[in-house]
Structure 1
């Protein structure tokens, strides 16, 4: 018989996600906290977002918080080289 430890993220009495490590569960819970904090911020904007779209946008921004933070700081990742050049180089070798 195997014993399996599961970490369950529960919000407002509803199971949101199950993880095998506490670290993953905590990271997901933190992401949900960020999304919850973004919703009122987005609702104050002049954007015409219905409730569902607002929640989806908040969730997306929370999931990509590191990249968003860099963009807001003015840090832009270099664009990857076009695939055509890499493919042509491989074929010429």
Structure 2
């Protein structure tokens, strides 16, 4: 017989996820806390979402916390190979057609 230790994240009496180590369980619990705060914040938005959409968006934002933080700090999308592969063809084409950095726009009079 083997003995396994499991760390279970429980919210409102419901088991959300179980983990083999405490660090991962704590990180998931922290992400759920962030998603809850983001969900409350999104409800204050002028854009009215259905409850399930609000929860899904809040959870996605919490999961993407590092990228969201980088975007807020820099005003740019974080660089990654995955985002370039997933970029729509129209965005790739637009960036290919964009003028190079040494071309300066001229203001019309």
TM-score (norm. length: structure 1)? 0.81
Aligned-partner Cα distance in 2 for 1:17–1:72: 30
Which region of structure 1 is more displaced relative to structure 2, 72-81 or 51-60? 72-81
Q: Measure the CA separation in 1 of the matches of 2:79 and 2:39.
A: 30
Aligned to 2:48: 48
How far residue 40 of structure 1 moved from its aligned partner, in angstroms, is 1.2
Could you say which structure has the greater relative contact order, defined with CA pairs below 8 angstroms and 6 or more residues apart?
1
Distance in 2 (alpha carbons) for counterparts of 1:9 and 1:24: 10
CA distance in 1, matches of 2:62, 2:41: 13
2:79 corresponds to 1:78: yes
Aligned residues: CA RMSD: 1.6
Q: Could you list the runs of 5+ residues in structure 1 that have no partner in the other structure?
A: 83-93
Larger radius of gyration: 2
2:30 pairs with 1:30: yes
TM-score (norm 2): 0.70
- Runs of 4+ more than 4 Å apart: none
